[in-house]
């Protein structure tokens, strides 16, 4: 397994996880990568590791360029196991190397591994590590998405080694965005933000502001997952997208998400969808029986309206809806308008559990709507009029 040169004396030494189907509870149909980078200079630095079960790939790619005994620094941008799982193995191969991370990173490494005998260098935002011809500037990005998260910037090459920021869970025959289907990469980047970084919009905005304050001139974003963004057009697209997503901007669209038992809730969902369509609003209708919650969250990221429906089962939310609402609450999307709807057999009220989550998220809501058994035409007309009040 050979390393891939991304700049003169800078290599991708990451691994490809083609078989990954789920990550953090969300669907990853295109697998993922765990990217690691090697910089050869007067001092040699390895940036990030990989998942433990793919460590052999990471090690082989490093060895295709240089022996581990020559590595001076192992930079740990993030201690989550997909990036640090093989750090103990790398330290055994390069015991002379200094582990460069921030204080939270050191504490996390000590919590996960036996770090006795490890050499640490603790950094903070703005600190600079000289490799010789090149320098590395560090930007701590706490809670984007772990307390230890940070990014590493090389001004001479204008490369930002961004770890989890700006990445995608996407595995391909290439490591470059420019050589992959751009629409797929962009959707995977959107899905990544929606399903992992969504709760951390404030932290994402802070990271973008810090990059601006430090005058980081970025021509390449070497991510921790997926493909590398290269060139002003690609870099601008992902930076501008993060700025939009982090500020909770919406595109005016609508998402109607529901599950159904005997078809009653599906009829309500279809009626609500028709109201948005008739109003000229782009809308998608997602049944949780055939759409994964991760796909729905990707739809919700840029939507203005979100309407959620459930049948009643044993006086509770339908199981897939309950799972979705729990997932939604944790990701905490802001600045949405919506309402809940439900069907029931003999006891009403379960709809209020969805409505309560919307209100907890501080969404702009209208009253919930529920109907007993199969809705008749007059009920569907009432639902249409009710739905229209969301535009007020």
Candidates 17, 225, 242, 344; catalytic one: 225
Separation between Cα atoms, residue 307 and residue 256, nearest integer Å? 5
Tell me if residue 373 is catalytic: no
Tell me if residue 89 is catalytic: no
Candidates 26, 41, 78, 344; catalytic one: 78
Backbone dihedral region for residue 173 (phi beyond 0: left; psi -120 to 50: alpha; all else: beta): alpha
Tell me if residue 145 is catalytic: yes
Q: How open is the CA angle 82-84-86, to the nearest 5 degrees?
A: 100
- C-alpha 237: how far from chain center: 16
Tell me if residue 83 is catalytic: no
Candidates 34, 83, 145, 302; catalytic one: 145
Candidates 26, 37, 153, 192; catalytic one: 192
Tell me if residue 78 is catalytic: yes
Candidates 22, 24, 360, 381; catalytic one: 24
Candidates 148, 164, 234, 295; catalytic one: 164
Tell me if residue 80 is catalytic: yes
Separation between Cα atoms, residue 102 and residue 250, nearest integer Å? 35
Separation between Cα atoms, residue 316 and residue 310, nearest integer Å? 9
Tell me if residue 386 is catalytic: no
By C-alpha distance, which of 136, 140, 160 is closest to 42? 136
Candidates 41, 82, 234, 295; catalytic one: 82
Antiparallel, parallel or unpaired: β 220-223 and 159-163:
parallel
Bridge partners (DSSP) listed for residue 47: 37, 75
Tell me if residue 110 is catalytic: no
Q: Which residues are catalytic?
A: 24, 78, 80, 82, 145, 164, 192, 225
């Amino acid at each position: 397994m050979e390393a891939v040169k991304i700049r003169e004396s800078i290599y991708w030494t990451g691994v490809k996880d083609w078989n990954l189907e789920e990550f953090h509870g969300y669907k990853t149909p295109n697998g993922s990568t765990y990217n690691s980078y090697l910089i050869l200079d007067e001092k040699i630095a390895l940036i990030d590791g990989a998942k433990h079960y793919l460590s052999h790939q990471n090690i082989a790619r490093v060895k295709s360029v240089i022996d581990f005994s020559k590595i001076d620094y192992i930079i740990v941008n993030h201690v989550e196991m997909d990036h640090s799982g093989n750090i103990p193995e790398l330290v055994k191969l390069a015991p002379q190397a200094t582990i460069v991370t921030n204080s939270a990173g050191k504490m996390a490494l000590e919590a996960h591994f036996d770090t006795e005998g490890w050499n640490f260098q603790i950094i903070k935002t703005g600190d600079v590590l000289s490799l010789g011809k090149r320098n590395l500037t560090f930007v701590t990005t706490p809670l984007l998405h772990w307390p230890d998260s940070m990014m590493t910037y090389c001004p001479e090459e204008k490369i930002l080694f961004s770890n989890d920021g700006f990445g995608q869970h996407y595995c391909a025959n290439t490591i470059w965005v420019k050589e992959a289907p751009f629409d797929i990469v962009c959707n995977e980047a959107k899905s990544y933000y929606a399903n992992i970084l969504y709760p951390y919009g404030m932290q994402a905005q802070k990271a973008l502001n810090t990059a601006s304050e430090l005058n980081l001139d970025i021509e390449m974003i070497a991510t921790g997952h997926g493909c590398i963004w290269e060139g002003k057009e690609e870099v601008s697209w992902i930076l501008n997208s993060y700025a939009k997503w982090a500020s909770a901007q919406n595109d005016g669209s609508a998402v109607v998400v529901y599950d159904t038992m005997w078809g009653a809730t599906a009829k309500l969902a279809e009626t609500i969808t028709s109201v948005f369509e008739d109003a000229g609003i782009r809308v998608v209708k997602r049944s949780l029986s055939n759409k994964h919650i991760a796909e729905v969250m990707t739809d919700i990221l840029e939507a203005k309206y979100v309407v959620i429906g459930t049948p009643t089962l044993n006086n509770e939310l339908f199981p897939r809806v309950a799972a979705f609402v729990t997932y939604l609450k944790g990701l905490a999307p802001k600045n949405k308008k919506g309402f809940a709807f439900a069907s029931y057999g003999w006891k009403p009220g379960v709809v209020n559990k969805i409505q309560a989550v919307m209100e907890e998220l501080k969404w702009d809501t209208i009253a919930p709507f529920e109907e007993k058994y199969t809705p008749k035409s007059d009920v569907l007309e009432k639902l249409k009029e009710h739905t229209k009040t969301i535009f007020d």
